[in-house]
Each structure stands twice: as structure tokens, then as C-alpha cells.
Amino acid sequence: METLLSYKFKVCVSFDKRQVFLIMTRINYIDNMKAMGITLVVLGHAVWLNEDVYTLIYSFHMPLFFFLSGYLASSKREVKQSLIKLFQRLILPFTFFFLISYLFWLPLNILGDGQASKMQWFDPLSRLVTSKADSFHINGVLWFFPCLIVISLAQIVFFSALKPIYSFVITSGVLVLMLLSNELISERWFWSIDSAVIGMFFYQLGVLVKRVNLLSYAVFNNEFKTYLILLFTIPIFCYLALLNGRVDIRELKFGVFPLLFPLIACLGIFILFLISKKLKPRPIFQWLAISSIVIFPLHLIVFRFLHKIEVKIIPNIWYLFDFLPYLNTCIAICCLVFVFRFLKSKTPRLIGL
């Protein structure tokens, strides 16, 4: 997945051996943004989460990953090579994680457990072909993959030939039209194209921000100014996000005031960036960032088992259930970091590495 490639490359020359080689250094604030972003994604899917916390997370967490995908996208227009990378880093992992999700879902379907029993065993396989954003009942987060595949394909074929500012203007106009008319959509589009139209705006914003080098402005390195900006923007973000209400790109729901959604999402991304700049490089952030390719598509499976166990063994005491979303988030992330390490060593290509 493109959001994993948080690296800068330096070309070095060894005159003794007459060799040219690359030194790979991580972009620390990107690692920090991805680490916090994936933690918020997992927390946002936890059962019993406070409604206000849920609203704040959903107001910007998926736009964040579209933004990072655009920010880390290659600026070179090499169509053939880009299509190969698209297959390796997105299409193959999407297929792999879908099959994993299907294999975990299938026993529930056979045993007749809840929603799974309402579908024929072959129904999810047909949904893989259409890949509508609202059709991944076996694992709801999988919608992000076809959505990002469509966005990346549009970038390779069309937008990479334009200047980033033109691409941003075009996607901004399309976004406004989509926000104003999304209630008229009666049938969801194949391959999550309807959600991809929304995600493309944030993707192109990432491309533009990277091209103008906006995140490297000196003001963001000034500690006093950074804290001052955070003190001003965080209350505004919280107020606007709670005012607008529930947002969900997968379901094409953008709150009470849809046109506020892009502003709120951009504000959330900006706040997370400022916080990330202030955090020092930590191995745990790097591991979370790298492991996000596995944490993202598989955490709902872990939650499914945790939820079934907890409702049976934990007494119905309200303060325990208020605490569980945060505990379950930590458990799911820790488990999946180990799963990532296993898959990385055994089948790295299947997870896009």
C-alpha cells in the first residue's frame, strides 16, 4: 500500500568501490501520523465507544489515509511500472485480505451466527467482483482497497499528466458536486467509485502539499508557534466536527452540513501533522506505521472474537464497557503487529512488501 512507503532516498557514491547506492531514511512525522491514524481507525471500530469520540475520529481518519497516499505517491509518470506497482501493493493485498476475511467468516455462516447466516456461502465472492463500498459484510474495512485502487489508477492514467494544482481544482469541483448530490444516489457504484470520488480530493491534496513542500515550512518547526496554532485549532475542530455530526465516506454520509466535511477533515489532518512534528522518533511509531497494512484489514476479525468473549464473561457494568474500546484497541494492535511480522517474513508479497 502506498501509505506504507514513508521513506526518503539519498543517492551516495562510493569512490573506492565505484558504486552508487541508496540510503533509506524514514520520514518521522509521516510515521507518527500513520501510527496515530491507524490507532484511531482501530479505536473508531471498537464496540461501546463513546459517540462523541466516534464522531471526532470519523470526521478525518479516512481522509488522512487518502491524503498520506497522495503525499507518498511517486511524481514520475511511468505508466507500465506504476501499473505493476499498483498490482503488487494494492490489488494483490486486497485479494489476499479478502480471502482471509472470507475464511474467518465462512464458519460463522455455516453455524448460522447472526448476520453471516443471512447470506449464501458464495455471496461474498460475487461481492468481490463488484466491490461496492457498502457490500463488504464479511469485513467492512475492505472497501478502502478498491477505493484506493480506483484513485491510484486515475492518478496513473489521467492526473499524473496534469499539474497538481489543476488536479486539485478538478477534484475539488467534483467533490462539491458529490457532496451536494450524494443523497440522489440510489444504487452504489461498482468498485467503490462513488467513495473514491471523495477520497480523490484528499489524495490530490496530498500530492499538492508534497509538490509545494508545504509541510516543511519553517513555522512548523517553531515550538511556540506550533503550540499556539494547536491551542487555536483543536477547539475549532472539535466544535465543528461535533456540530456536523456523523461522517462515513464508505456510507456516503457527510453530516448535517456536508460542505463542512472537507474543511473539518483537513483541519483534523493538519492538527495530527502538528502533533506528529512535535513527537520524537520512536520504534513503536515506526512499527505501527509499517504494520498498518495488516492492522487495517484484519482488526475487525480480532474485534469479532473479543466481543463474543467479553459479552459472556464481563458483567453488565457500564464503566467496564466504557473502558473496553481502548483495551480492545491495544489488544488488537498488539496481536496484529505479531501477525504482520509473521507475514512479512513468510509471504511479504501478499501484503504488498
pLDDT at 277: 87
* pLDDT tens-digit map of 9-28: 444 444 444 444 333 456 78
Nearest Cα to Cα of residue 260 among 184, 175, 324, 319: 175
Q: Is the predicted pLDDT of residue 290 greater than 70, yes or no?
A: yes
186: number of CA atoms within 13 Å, CB side?
A: 0
Contacts of 48 (CB under 8 A, 6+ apart): 321, 322, 324, 325
CB 48, CB 324: distance < 8 Å: yes
Q: How is the chain split into domains, by residue range?
A: 2-351
pLDDT at 185: 79
* pLDDT tens-digit map of 71-126: 988 777 778 888 889 999 999 999 999 999 999 888 877 776 655 556 777 888 88
Mean pLDDT for the stretch of residues 169-182: 93
Q: Is the predicted pLDDT of residue 60 greater than 90, yes or no?
A: yes
CB 219, CB 225: distance < 8 Å: yes
More confident residue, 253 or 74: 253
CB 199, CB 153: distance < 8 Å: no
More confident residue, 137 or 75: 137
Greatest Cα-to-Cα distance within the chain, rounded to the nearest angstrom: 71
pLDDT at 73: 86
Distance in angstroms (rounded) separating the CA atoms of residues 3 and 336? 18
pLDDT at 15: 40
The number of angstroms, rounded, from the C-alpha of 47 to the middle of its chain's C-alpha atoms is 19
Residue 127's pLDDT band, with cuts at 50, 70 and 90, is: confident
Q: Is the predicted pLDDT of residue 153 greater than 90, yes or no?
A: yes
More confident residue, 67 or 129: 67
Residue 187's pLDDT band, with cuts at 50, 70 and 90, is: confident
Mean pLDDT for the stretch of residues 131-139: 86
- Which of 26-40, 57-71, 139-153, 175-189 has the lowest average pLDDT? 175-189
Average pLDDT over the chain reads 86
144: number of CA atoms within 13 Å, CB side?
A: 24
Cell numbers that stand for 307 in this block: 466481543
Global pTM reads: 0.89
> What are all long-range contacts of 26-30, with beta carbons under 8 Å and residues at least 24 apart?
26/281, 26/286, 28/276, 28/279, 28/280, 28/281, 28/285, 29/215, 29/273, 29/276, 29/277, 29/279, 30/6, 30/68, 30/71, 30/72, 30/276, 30/289
pLDDT at 9: 42
> What are all long-range contacts of 71-75, with beta carbons under 8 Å and residues at least 24 apart?
71/30, 71/206, 71/207, 71/209, 71/210, 72/2, 72/3, 72/5, 72/6, 72/30, 72/206, 72/210, 73/2, 73/152, 73/155, 73/203, 73/206, 73/207, 73/210, 75/160, 75/207, 75/210, 75/211
- Which of 1-15, 182-196, 238-252, 305-319 has the lowest average pLDDT? 1-15
Mean pLDDT for the stretch of residues 22-42: 82
Nearest Cα to Cα of residue 131 among 199, 45, 64, 196: 196
Tell me the residue type at 27: I
Distance in angstroms (rounded) separating the CA atoms of residues 24 and 89? 19
**Which of 77-91, 261-275, 302-316 ranks highest by mean pLDDT?**
261-275
* pLDDT tens-digit map of 323-345: 899 999 999 999 999 999 999 99
Nearest Cα to Cα of residue 145 among 91, 194, 188, 189: 91
**Percent above pLDDT 90 for the chain:** 56
pLDDT at 11: 42
Mean pLDDT for the stretch of residues 234-253: 95
Handedness of CA 331, 333, 142, 66 (dihedral sign): positive
